Chains A and B, each alone.
Chain A
Amino acid sequence: MGNAFFVLDDGKIFEGQSWGSDGESYGEAVFSTGMTGYQETLTDPSYHRQVVIMTAPHIGNTGMNKVDEESRKIWVSGFVVRDPSPIVSNWRAQRSLEDDLVAQGIVGICNVDTRAITRHLRECGVMRVGIFSNMDLSREEMVKLVRKSPEMSGSQLSAEVSTEKKYIVPAIGEKLFTVAAIDLGIKAATPRLMSERGIEVHVFPQDASMEQLLEISPDGVFLSNGPGDPSTMVEVVALVRELLLKQIPIFGICFGHQIFGRALGFETYKLRYGHRGINQPVLDKTTNKVEITAHNHGFAVQAPMDGSFDTVYGKGEVTHICLNDGVVEGLALLDRPAFSVQYHPEAAAGPHDASYLFDRFVDLMKGGVHATP
C-alpha cells in the first residue's frame, strides 16, 4: 500500500493509504452515512462525479455480488473509507470490493479519519476534492489540480449516465400498466419494484422526445433519480410541462422530483452538505406518519410548506418534509395526477418504508385524481 492524499478545494489535506486503483480522480466530496449498502451506493448513477466518503468504518465486509448492482458499473469518482475488509464474508459474495474498484479503475483511499472529513464537510459544505494515490505531486500541485476540476453546480450529467437505447423491464405476472421511465440515472431497483406491481417499464434515454414517449401510449411517466444540477435540465422540464397538460400521471423521485418542482415553477437550490444516508426521517403530511427513508440529494426544491400553493397546473402542496432540517421532500398536484418525492422509495440501499409510493403511482394510473394515501 502506498501513500494517498485526499485534497479538498479549501486546501485541507488528509493523508491515507492507496486503495483500489492508483492515480488521480476528482469530484464533489460527499459523505454517506449508511451502515449497509456500499455496493448499491457505488453503482448508483446519482453518485456520478462524486467522491463518496463512507462514515461507517468497515467497508467491503460482504464483498460484491451480481444481484445487488444498481447499474452496469461503479459511478463514484472516488471512494473513501477507513478500514477496508481484508476478506469477504457472505454467502452471496462473488468478488471482493477492492478487486472491483481496481477492475473499474476507481481511485480509492483508506486509513483516513473519515469522521474528521465528514465534520469538515458538514461545517464548510460540500466542495471539490481530488484523490491522489501513489502520485508524486507536491501539496500545492494537488490543490491546484483540484481547483481546476469542474464544479457540481451548473453540471448537466444525465447524458453521461443515461441509457443510450430504450429497454423494457417486463411486468411480473399480469401486465396492468405501461410506464415510460425517463432514465436520468435510474437504479435497477426502481423498474423492478414497478414490475412487481404489474407495470411494464419502458426505460427511455434522458433525451427522449414527447413523440417517443407517446408511441408506447404510457399509462404513466416516471422521472428517475440522477446526478447533476437540476437547473440545467431545461428540456426535461419542458417535457414534464407538456405531460402535465396531457394529464398523464407522473411520478418523480430525487432528481426527477427536482425537475418536477422546476416544471411547477419552483426554484431548486444547493444544500450545504446534502442528505446522503438511509436513516432520514420524512413526515408524510397526508398521513402524519414518519417513514425512514434513503436519501441521496445535494439539491432541493424551494416550495411553500404550509397549506396549498397555486401553479399553472392548478393547486398543489408539499406532501413530505424531512424532519431533520425541514427540507421539502415531496410534492403533489391536487387537481392533476402528478407527484414526486425527493428521496428513494426503491430504497436500494435502505429501508422499505416508502415503497407504498409505487402503490400511489398505481392508484393514479387507475384513475385517481391526485396522489393520496
Chain B
Amino acid sequence: MPRLNEIKSVLVIGSGPIVIGQACEFDYSGTQACRVLQAEGIRVILINSNPATIMTDPEFADATYIEPITPEFVEKVIAKERPDAILATLGGQTALNAAISLHDAGILDKYKTRLIGANVDAIRRGEDRQLFKEIVASIGGESAGSMICHTIEDCYKAAERFNYPVVVRPSFTMGGLGSGIAYTKNELTEIAGAGLRYSPTTEVLIEESILGWKEFELEMMRDYKDNVVVVCSIENFDPMGVHTGDSITVAPAMTLTDVEYQKLRDLSIGIIRAVGVDTGGCNIQFAVNPADGRIVVIEMNPRVSRSSALASKATGFPIAKIAAKLAIGYSLDEIKNDITQETPASFEPTLDYVVVKVPRFNFEKFPAADNRLTTTMKSVGEAMAIGRSFPEALQKALRSLEKKGSSFSWDQIVKSKAELLIESGVATESRIHSVQQAMFLGATVEQAHEASFIDLWFLAQIEIINKMAHLLLQPGEISEKVLRDAKRLGFSDLQIAQLTGSTEEDVRKRRSILGMHPVYKTVDTCAAEFKAMTPYHYSSYDYETEVEPRTKPAVIILGSGPNRIGQGVEFDYSCVHAAFALRAMDFETIMINCNPETVSTDYDTSDRLYFEPLTFEDVMEVYEAELAVGPIVGVVVQLGGQTPLGLAARLQAAGVPIVGTSPAAIDIAEDRGLFGQLLKDQNLRAPKFGMAGSFKQAQKIANEIGYPVLARPSYVLGGRGMEIVYDEETLAAYISKSTEISLTHPVMIDKFLDDAIEVDVDALFDGEELFLGGVMEHIEEAGVHSGDSACVLPPTSIDASLTKEIREATKKIARGVGVKGLINIQFAIAENLLYVLEANPRASRTVPFVSKATGISLAKCAAAISLGKTIADLREEGALPKVGDGIAQGISVKEAVLPWNRFRKKDGSGVDSLLGPEMRSTGEVMGRDDEFGAAFSKSQSGALGALPISGAVFASFADRDKGKCVDSVKALAKLGFEIVATAGTAKFLAAEGIKSKVIRKYSDGLGPKGELTAVDSIESGEVALVINTPFGSGAREDGWRIRTAAVARGIPIITTIPGLKAAVLGIAAQQKGGFQVKSLQDWLK
C-alpha cells in the first residue's frame, strides 16, 4: 500500500520549549516529519510554541502556529484548520500529553480527526505503569517488583515490602521528573511526596531497587503490516540508578552474547505488539543482573524519544523520518534506505564502529543543587562521538563536551586511590574521572567495578587508555608507534602534550612530519556491505579514508557542540540556515558538529557531515582532509555561538580562511579595552567599568565607579559567573570564589545601572550598509540575564528618537568592529540615556525569534554576506525588504523557561528560583498577538506557567519595590483577585487603599488554631499566583521557601516588578478571552 490517500492534511504537534529531558531532539524529529509529509503533498499544519526551532520556519509547514501547546490552543488550531489527522508521536511527552487531553475531552471526535502513529490506548498501555507491567507479564517478561501508590502511606507500605532502597517513579511525567531513590523513610517522604504532586494523576510507583544492574535500551520500529525491526541497541556505561539521559551510553551493546541480545529483542517485539504501537518508533529499557542474567523490563516510550535521535545519528537510520512515513500508511519495505539508496528500510542497521554519548551538565549554574545523579534527569545537553573503538569514541566524546576537565587527565591527581574509589561509588558528572584516576593510581579493574558497578569490560577499556598514558609518561621521545597507538586510542594532541611535557603545537608538528592523520570513515547503516551514498563521516586513526574528491568550492560551517545553558538550539538554527543558504548559492556545504540532538547533524542538512568534536585539532584535521580533495572557500564561525568563535583566531593563524567577520574584529568586540576605546572614539556611552586582576584592583574600581557593580569573568557566554554586587563584602566574596582570576584572566567590574530598561538588537552589516533586524525590549530590568528575561518586539516603551539613536549606535559599532554578517548588541536605557552594554559579532540567541517576528531569515542573510553578498544584493534578491529595516508584524513576546523544578539541594529542598545576571533558562517560547497583553499571556501559557484568571494572589515585596508595585496590585484586585499578604505587606497595602487577607509568615510557623503560613497555603494549592520580589542581596529564608514552594507546586511565580506589570496586562487580556490563533504564514502576509 503506498499511503493513506484519505489523509490530505496533518497537524504535527511539536514539543514546545527546550526543557531538561526534552530538548532539540524533537526539533530534529519534528523537522524530519514535516519534510516527509510535505514531500508527500500533504498539507502540514504545525503547532509549536518554540520559535528557536527549525521546524517552525515557515517553509517547513503550510500553516505554522507558534502558539502554546495546551489543549485550549491546539483545539483552536484544529477548529480553524480541520486537519484530517494529528501526528503527536514526534513531539515528545508534551505532544503526547496534549493528544491524550484532546482525545479525553472529545475534541478529536468533535472535529472528526484522529491520531496517526499511535492510538490513545497504546499510549496508555505504554505509559501507565500498572498496565505496562501486566503486558510485560503477559508476554513472559519480568518487571521489577512494584506497587502503585496514591498516598504517602501507601508508599511506606510498599517500601516495607521491598526493603530500602526503593525507587520512586511518578506517572506521566517526562524526563523522570520527580523520580528518585529513597534509602530511608525520610527520603521517601521527600521524594514520593514531591512525586505525587508532579504526577498529573497523583500517582507514583514504588519499585524494588535494581541499582547496579546493567542497563540496555532497544530502539524499535513497527509498521502497519507488523514488521518490526530493532534500529539500535544501546548499553549504558553507568549501571542502573542513573537516568539514561544522564548516563554515558554506548551503541551498540557491548557486553551481551547473541543469546542474551536476542532475548531482549524477542521481549521488545512482544512488548511493541502487545502495547499496540501500530506504526512508528518506540524504545524499551531493560536491566540485566550481571550475576545471573536475570532480565527486568524497566519501561517503554511509545513514541520517538531522545534516544531515538541518538539512535538515528548513531546508525544513520532516520527514525523520525521513517516514523512519519509509517504513520501515513507506508510499510518499512516500501521505504528506501537513504544511505544505500538501493536497500529498503526494513532491516536492522549494523555498526562497524562504536558510538559514545556523554551528557553535558550545568551544575555550576546551580551551585546549591545536589550534583548526584539519580533517576531524575539533570543534564542539559549531550555530545556524541564515533570511533572505531570504544576508547577512541569515549575520548572524542569527552573532549566534545568542551568543558574544562572533561577529558581524561593524568597529571595533578590530588586525591588518593582510596578516596577516588569512594567517589566512584557515587554517580556524579565526574565519576568516570574518579574511576579512571583510581585505576591509574593502581586500583584494579575488579576494585573499580566493586566500587562503581560499571561493567568490567568498560573498565578494562579505560585501563587500556591508562596504560597508554603510563607509556607516554616514560622519559625520552616517544616512538612513532606509540604516538600512533595513542592516537588510535583517541588521545588528543593536547593530552599527549601534557603527558610528554611538550606542547599541543609540537605534537601536531610531529604528526604532520610523520604524515599521521586520521582517516574518515562513513556511517552507512550496513557495516560497508553496501555502498553509502551519503557522506556522513567520522574520524579514526585507521588505514583507509573514504572522503570523496569534489570539484565545487566548499564552505565549512562549525556547529555549536553540545547544548548547554546559554548555547542551545538557537545556534543550531543559525547553522542550519547557513547550510541551506550556502547550498542555494551553489557551494558545497560541510558541517562539523558533535550534538546528536540537532538538525545540523542530520545527514541531509549539508552536503557533507563530519560528526566530530569542535576542538582546534579535530576541526583542523577535517579542514586538511577536505582541502586535499577539493577547494575550500572558508570556514563560517559566527553562527554556532561561542564555541566556533573561540576557535576562529587559532584557525586563522593556522592558515584557515575565516569567512565573514574576521577574528581581529571578533577580538575588538570581545576585548573590553579595545571595545571601550571604540565606544569612546564613536562617542557612545557605556557604563563605567574596569578590569581587575586582583581583589585590590577590583576594590579600587568599584569605589571609583560606585556600587552596585556587575562583576564577571571575561570571554563567557550565558553570563557564567556573573553577579550583581552591592557592597565591598560581597565583592570580596565574589573575587575569592573566582579562583581563576589573574592578569591574563581578569574580572570585569561594570557599573550596574539600577532600574534600567535593557534592549537587545540583532543586525546585519556588510561593511557599508546596516540592516536592523529587530529591537527587543526586555521586560525584566537590566541585571537579569538577557537569556532569562522576557522581551517584546517591537519595543513598547522606546520612542522614535531613541530607536533612531539605537540604529545609529549599532551601525557605528558594526563598522568600528568590522562586522561582516550578524551582530548582536545589548543596550541599556537609564533615565532616557542610551548605554552600550556589550556587542557580540555573531548570531545571537534571539536570531530565530527576530526572524519569526519579522519574516526575515537573518541567519541565511548573514551566511550570504559572509561569502561576499551585500545587503543591496539581498534586497535585490528579495531576501531582505527593498527598503528599510525589519518590521515585526503584531506584538511578539519571548519568554524564557527555567529548570528550577529539576534541581534540589542535598537535603531535598528546592533551589532558589531568582533571576539574575547568570543565565539559567534552558529554552524559550514565543507568544504573539495584536496587543501586548494577549501576546504576553500566550507566552506564559507556552512557557508552561499559564497565568490565572481568578483566585488568590500571594504578594510580598522588597522594600525598594513597594512604591513601584502599588498600581499593579490595585489592578489585580480590580480584576477580581483576592490579595493575600503577610502582616507587613498587608499593612503597607492597606495604607495604599488595597484590601488584603493577612497570612502568617513561614518563619512564624503554623498558628495556634492551625492557621497556615504563606508557604503552607502555596503548597496546599490555595494560591493561584505568587509574587515575590527578592529582598536585595543575601538569602532570606522566607522568600526562598515561598519561591521553592511555588516552583514545586507548579504555581506561576513573578519575581520582578516589570514582570508583574506585564502579567497584569496578560491577565486582563485573558479575562477578556477569545484569543485567536494565527499562523506565521498569515502574519507574514
Contacts and interface: CB of A to CB of B under 8 A. Distances in A.
Given A57-B389, A89-B456, A281 B347 contact: yes
Given A89-B456, A351-B262, A114 B350 contact: no
Contacts of A58: 254, 354, 389-390
Contact of A279 (B266, B348, B546): B348
A158 B527 CA distance: 30
A92 B257 contact: yes
B922 interface: no
Interface in B450-506: 455-457, 460, 463-464
Contacts of A100: none
Interface residues of A, number: 54
Contacts, number: 173
B227 A350 contact: no
A290 B457 contact: no
A298 interface: no
Interface stretch (B19-27, B289-297, B811-819): B289-297
Chain B interface helix/strand/loop/mixed: loop
Given A35-B252, A82-B389, A113 B347 contact: no
B265 A351 contact: yes
Given A55-B350, A281-B346, A350-B262, A290 B255 contact: no
Interface stretch (A116-124, A215-223, A225-233, A244-252): A116-124
Contacts of B290: 91
A349 interface: yes
Contact of B347 (A68, A89, A279, A289): A279
A68 B258 contact: yes
Contact of B258 (A36, A281, A288): A36
A286 to B, nearest CB: 14
A89 B457 contact: yes
A83 B389 contact: yes
B352 A56 contact: yes
Contacts of B333: 281, 283, 290, 323
A351 B268 CA distance: 12
B134 to A, nearest CB: 24
A115 B528 contact: yes
Contacts of B543: 14, 112-113, 116
B347 A323 contact: yes
A62 B544 contact: no
Interface string B520-536: 01000011111100000
B460 A85 contact: yes
A34 interface: yes
B258 A348 contact: yes
B466 to A, nearest CB: 12
A114 B349 contact: no
Interface in B326-357: 331-333, 342-344, 346-354
A39 B255 CA distance: 13
Interface string B84-95: 000000000000
A61 B354 contact: no
Contacts of A324: 342-344, 347, 529-530
Nearest to B289: A91
Interface string A332-362: 0000000000000001111110000000000
A119 B352 contact: no
Interface in A50-69: 55-58, 61-62, 65, 67-68
A261 interface: no
A3 B327 CA distance: 54
A33 B526 contact: yes
Given A292-B348, A351-B262, A89 B354 contact: no
A86 interface: yes
B259 interface: yes
B353 A57 contact: yes
Q: Please report whether the interface of chain A is mostly helix, strand, loop or mixed according to DSSP.
A: loop
A185 interface: no
Contacts of A350: 258, 262
A23 interface: no
B471 to A, nearest CB: 15
B292 to A, nearest CB: 6
Interface in B213-227: 225-227
Interface in A62-112: 62, 65, 67-68, 82-83, 85-87, 89-92, 112
Greatest chain B CB density within 10 A among A56, A86, A281, A289 is at A281
A368 interface: no
Interface in A276-305: 277-281, 283, 288-290, 292
Contact of A87 (B252, B257, B389, B456): B456
Contacts of B257: 36-37, 39, 62, 65, 68, 90, 92
A290 B334 CA distance: 11
B363 interface: no
Given A33-B529, A116-B543, 11 more contacts: A36-B257, A57-B352, A57-B354, A90-B260, A92-B257, A114-B352, A115-B388, A115-B542, A119-B528, A122-B528, A278-B258
Interface of A: 14, 31, 33-37, 39-40, 55-58, 61-62, 65, 67-68, 82-83, 85-87, 89-92, 112-116, 118-119, 122, 277-281, 283, 288-290, 292, 323-325, 347-352
9 contacts: A33-B527, A85-B457, A91-B293, A113-B542, A116-B543, A118-B528, A289-B226, A349-B262, A350-B262
Smallest CB-CB A-B distances: 9 pairs: A37-B258, A113-B543, A349-B258, A116-B544, A55-B527, A89-B457, A36-B258, A279-B348, A55-B352
